[in-house]
Structure 1
Amino acid sequence: MRPTLLSLLSLGFCVSLRIWTAVGELEKPSLSAWPSPVVPLGQTVTLQCHFRSPLKRFRLFKAHGTSLSELQGNHFNNFTLGPVTREHAGSYTCSGFSRFLLLPIHSDPLHIVITGVLTKPAISAHPGPLVQEGRNVTLHCQSQLLFDKFILHQENSTGHFQARGETFMGRHAAADFFIGPITLVRAGTYRCYGSLSRSPYEWSAPSDPVDIVITGLCKKPSLRDERGPRVRSGETETLLCSSERAFDQFHLLREGENLGRLLAGGRGPRRALQAAFPLGPGVPAHTGVCRCYGSFTCSPYAWSDHSDPLLLSVTEPTTSTCPSTMNPHTTEEAQLPQGHSSQLHLLFRLSVAFIYTSIFLAVLVCHWFPKKRCNHGRRAQGRQNSEQRGESSLPKPLP
């Protein structure tokens, strides 16, 4: 029995369907973004569609099935988007076609997020960015805008971002992310973003970075000041951080404020590696407790234990005068011990108070006594006049 045309078409369709099913079960295209699917506003991003089968044609689709472009390729195709705008945000898939396949094979969706559309939030670490291994830390994201969702991203060693977590807040201005126990994998640079439910692929600008660092993994270095812990204002001050361990970089912090990082630049006493931190002319604002840490460039988020604290005190310069023009009493008082000087100040104040009190009493006396004397004199003069008038009124005796 000769095969009919309909049977041949059915057979070809079944074979193609089996090939397509087998290929689809073995592998389907994958879509990736370089350098990252999180793209700042105005930058470019390259989408790569990978498929090992001998596909001859690829297509890139955005949400709602819109075909953006069609390029030729063998094993992969590159689709460059940008400079990106808010319209580029969305979900993408790619599909591959071949003359051996009747139906296209679609990749899993890839979400392209555009950042910088909204104002950036702020991020802070509690109890602080320096954490001992195994402890917990809370990253607090806060914004003046009422975001529906906060997203926390961690920067890996290649500079790309990987999602660490997200919190749906429902129109709130803050969110907390609990991280721990802290290990080398969880240590790193973190940023947070905010978004609104009406545009889930449009995020705010990233927050300023916060570095979560593990401390206490190595022996502590030592910290000292070339001029001593007390420096006068205007004098150049330099702090030396050194360690017998072969650290290749050192970090200096004052009251939790990171003053910078320096590579090891020489050897100090006992051939210890050290780094000199010049703080410039001393000002009272430099006063505070300083600590330094050591680390290796291959592990930027793993630091040693902190050095012993160094209290740096910057004082204002004292003005000096010529001894010949100084009051001798002042000179003698300056030469006395501090206890005697304070006693002299007390006696001086009591003497001044006594003098002012005496003057005040004398003024009162001078003010009141003359009035009394005048009144007394007037009364005596009045009596004398009345006596004279009385004598003149008496009859004179007859001769």
Structure 2
Amino acid sequence: MAAMMSQLLVVLYTGLCAGRGNRMTDETLPKPSLSAWPSWIMPPKSNVTLQCHTSTNDVNFALRKGNVPVEFPQSPDSTEGMARFLLTDLQASSSGPYTCEYYRREPPQRSSQPSDILLLLVTGEFPKPSLQAPQRGVVTAGETVTLQCQRPDNIFMPIKFALLKAGAAEPIRVQDPAGKETDFSLRSVTVSDAGNYSCVYFLMRAPFWASEPSNHLEITVKDKTERESPKMAETGVGTVELTLIVIFILLFILGVFLIYKYTQCGAAPNKMTKCSRSSKDPQEQRTSVQPGKESDDLSMAITSCSPALVSFHYGYPIITPPCPRFSVTLPGFVNGLGLCIPPHRPHPSPHSTFQRNLG
């Protein structure tokens, strides 16, 4: 940023040196430094503190705007080697180049060289620009982020753009425009580059007016070691939420499957009723089966009453009714899965079988 403003600072510095007072300059005194807190780009009606610092003791400080001394109603708050100049209720007229200097308290009162220029800007004199970024959402550390600041079409004076970050005392970048816009490139970003950004444009000559800041643009930087995907980070869906969604889907599929099985199993008794009306009593079937017709009857039973289960005990077929309708019991749940449990039937004893054959 200092390199980009070097030409302007040289011109301003020459004017300041030409307009200084009659006090002699001591070239052996080190040049002081001047800084602004919280920033040198401030909104109107705010306050800013300009701090002048030197390593020389027993000195008094003076603040200048351009080549004119700034008068204060009371002496600035100063300690050994530093003075604080408080500027309150800033207006557009407060904008401009500031320097500070100091001089020895004891005669001869020779002053130091002036500090480097601090350009104080008060925003709000021009319409705000727009700030856009092609990258949306989360960016990964190490990538390049480009922020484009664009001024309105009705500004034709020579200007510069400044990129601001919330909480930073100094602008991140100061650049010349390319047409009516400029691109700020943040290369190899880190997690510390995350934050809210805005931009302004301002005049580089008197009256040093500055625009309103653009709307804030939030940049989120994700470290490379993080496993969370950018899309997940944007939507705010974490591991717990994703797990619950998967469980819900599985339960839904299981519920549909069980309803289907219960429906299929519940239709079987209707078929069995038709089958029982067209056949004899199961007791009669067991006593009337002939050895030679056993296979035909079995085939007929399986064909005409497919939902039933057919088993043989000592040569006699036993037709088991189909699965019962749904009930909230363990057999009902197992039947819903397609595992029909046949009802318990006592096995005929050899003695009863022998009596039946004799009959």
Code of the residue aligned with 2:165 in structure 1: it is: Q
Is 1:133 aligned to 2:141, yes or no?
A: yes
Q: Secondary structure at 1:95's aligned position in 2?
A: strand
Q: Residues of 2 paired with 1:131 and 1:183: CA distance? A: 10
Q: Name 1:81's counterpart in structure 2.
A: 87
* Maintained 8 Å contact 2:62/2:69: no
More strand per residue = 1
Is 1:154 aligned to 2:201, yes or no?
A: no
1:104 Cα offset (Å): 0.6
Q: Residues of 1 paired with 2:208 and 2:88: CA distance? A: 16
Q: Name 1:71's counterpart in structure 2.
A: 75
- Taking a change above 3 Å as real, the CA distance of residues 121 and 47 of structure 1, as seen in their structure-2 partners, is same
Which of these residues, 227, 237, 241, is aligned with residue 292 of structure 1?
A: 237
Pairs within 5 Å for 1:164-313:
164-169=172-177, 172-199=179-206, 201-215=208-222, 216-220=224-228, 253=234, 290-292=235-237
Q: Residues of 2 paired with 1:208 and 1:192: CA distance? A: 8
- Taking a change above 3 Å as real, the CA distance of residues 56 and 95 of structure 1, as seen in their structure-2 partners, is same
Q: Residues of 1 paired with 2:238 and 2:61: CA distance? A: 53
- Taking a change above 3 Å as real, the CA distance of residues 74 and 197 of structure 1, as seen in their structure-2 partners, is closer
Q: Name 1:256's counterpart in structure 2.
A: none
- Taking a change above 3 Å as real, the CA distance of residues 182 and 85 of structure 1, as seen in their structure-2 partners, is same
Q: Residues of 1 paired with 2:67 and 2:221: CA distance? A: 46
Larger relative contact order (C-alpha < 8 A, sep ≥ 6)? 2
Q: Name 1:241's counterpart in structure 2.
A: none
Which of these residues, 83, 99, 116, is aligned with residue 93 of structure 1?
A: 99
Q: Name 1:47's counterpart in structure 2.
A: 50
Q: Secondary structure at 1:123's aligned position in 2?
A: strand
Among all aligned residue pairs of Structure 1 and Structure 2, give the percentage whose two residues are the same amino acid.
Answer: 28
1:78 Cα offset (Å): 2.1
1:129 Cα offset (Å): 4.1
Pairs within 5 Å for 1:310-325:
none
Q: Residues of 1 paired with 2:175 and 2:48: CA distance? A: 26
**RMSD, aligned α-carbons:** 3.4
Q: Name 1:118's counterpart in structure 2.
A: 126
Q: Residues of 2 paired with 1:101 and 1:307: CA distance? A: 78
* Maintained 8 Å contact 2:160/2:175: yes
After superposition, what is the alpha-carbon deviation per residue over 1:93-129, rounded to whole angstroms, capped at 9, x for unaligned? 1121221553211322211111122121111111224
Code of the residue aligned with 2:161 in structure 1: it is: F
Q: Residues of 1 paired with 2:65 and 2:145: CA distance? A: 39
User: Could you tell which deviates more after superposition, 67-76 or 79-88?
Assistant: 67-76
Q: Residues of 2 paired with 1:150 and 1:200: CA distance? A: 16
* Maintained 8 Å contact 1:59/1:71: no
Q: Residues of 2 paired with 1:179 and 1:307: CA distance? A: 34
Instruction: Flag structure 1 segments of 5+ consecutive residues without an equivalent.
Output: 1-16, 224-250, 254-289, 295-305, 312-399
Q: Residues of 2 paired with 1:58 and 1:43: CA distance? A: 24
* Maintained 8 Å contact 1:128/1:137: no
* Maintained 8 Å contact 1:190/1:210: yes
After superposition, what is the alpha-carbon deviation per residue over 1:343-384, rounded to whole angstroms, capped at 9, x for unaligned? xxxxxxxxxxxxxxxxxxxxxxxxxxxxxxxxxxxxxxxxxx
Q: Secondary structure at 1:169's aligned position in 2?
A: coil
Q: Secondary structure at 1:190's aligned position in 2?
A: strand
Pairs within 5 Å for 1:52-63:
52-63=55-66
Q: Name 1:349's counterpart in structure 2.
A: none
* Maintained 8 Å contact 2:124/2:210: yes
Normalised by the length of structure 1, the TM-score is 0.46
Q: Secondary structure at 1:117's aligned position in 2?
A: coil
Aligned length: 211
* Maintained 8 Å contact 1:20/1:102: no
Which of these residues, 148, 151, 154, is aligned with residue 143 of structure 1?
A: 151
- Taking a change above 3 Å as real, the CA distance of residues 137 and 21 of structure 1, as seen in their structure-2 partners, is closer
Q: Residues of 2 paired with 1:252 and 1:142: CA distance? A: 29
Q: Name 1:107's counterpart in structure 2.
A: 115
Q: Residues of 2 paired with 1:196 and 1:57: CA distance? A: 33
- Taking a change above 3 Å as real, the CA distance of residues 108 and 142 of structure 1, as seen in their structure-2 partners, is closer
Q: Residues of 2 paired with 1:200 and 1:209: CA distance? A: 26
* Maintained 8 Å contact 1:20/1:101: no
Code of the residue aligned with 1:94 in structure 2: it is: C
Code of the residue aligned with 1:119 in structure 2: it is: P
Q: Residues of 1 paired with 2:118 and 2:203: CA distance? A: 19
